[in-house]
Structure 1
């Protein structure tokens, strides 16, 4: 089953910026067979359900392995059975209505 997820990873690193940790996570995500789109407050992921959640788990593991002891993530996930709709398809549907 395909799914689209919006992932926001919040590593508790005792710093104001988490850009280094998010870059680490993004590098991990890029090793998976997913459509990935970084945005200002998270990352959209599209692909097979198990691959998406495996990638999220790998992000947590990579951050823990780098010394981050606490991570909080929010995940919104959606599925549909009527068609295969990519992240760009969803964006385009709205942009078409803005013309």
Structure 2
């Protein structure tokens, strides 16, 4: 199980407010069935690397479909094979 932080930045928008572009992205994440946590500067998800990469692809499509003319994606993946990872473990909970 991997833990990833995903941040999508819509560019080419008419306003500095980007909530309307990110709402469909959150819907995609919710529908993915992966464990996730929305944070102030990104979203953390838990799953296999393949599941996470497929989710990133769907999020990319969703933000463009929402009207963003350009998108920058920041993705960090922590994948360990020596012990289980979880969102709570990364938070020290």
TM-score normalized by the length of structure 1:
0.84
Matched, 1:39 2:35: no
User: Could you tell me which residue of structure 1 aligns to residue 66 of structure 2?
Assistant: 66
Aligned partners of 1:85 and 1:49: how far apart in 2? Answer: 12
User: Could you tell me which residue of structure 1 aligns to residue 88 of structure 2?
Assistant: 88
Q: Could you say which structure has the greater relative contact order, defined with CA pairs below 8 angstroms and 6 or more residues apart? A: 2
Q: Secondary structure at the match of 1:15?
A: coil
Gaps of 5+ in 1: none
Gaps of 5+ in 2: none
User: Could you tell me which residue of structure 1 aligns to residue 5 of structure 2?
Assistant: 6
Count of aligned pairs: 92
Runs of 4+ in structure 1 deviating by more than 6 angstroms, as ranges, are none
Does the aligned pair in 1 maintain the 2:5–2:43 contact within 8 Å?
Answer: yes
Aligned partners of 2:79 and 2:19: how far apart in 1? Answer: 29
Aligned partners of 2:68 and 2:42: how far apart in 1? Answer: 18
Q: Secondary structure at the match of 1:4?
A: strand
TM-score normalized by the length of structure 2:
0.89
Does the aligned pair in 2 maintain the 1:3–1:47 contact within 8 Å?
Answer: yes
Does the aligned pair in 1 maintain the 2:79–2:85 contact within 8 Å?
Answer: no
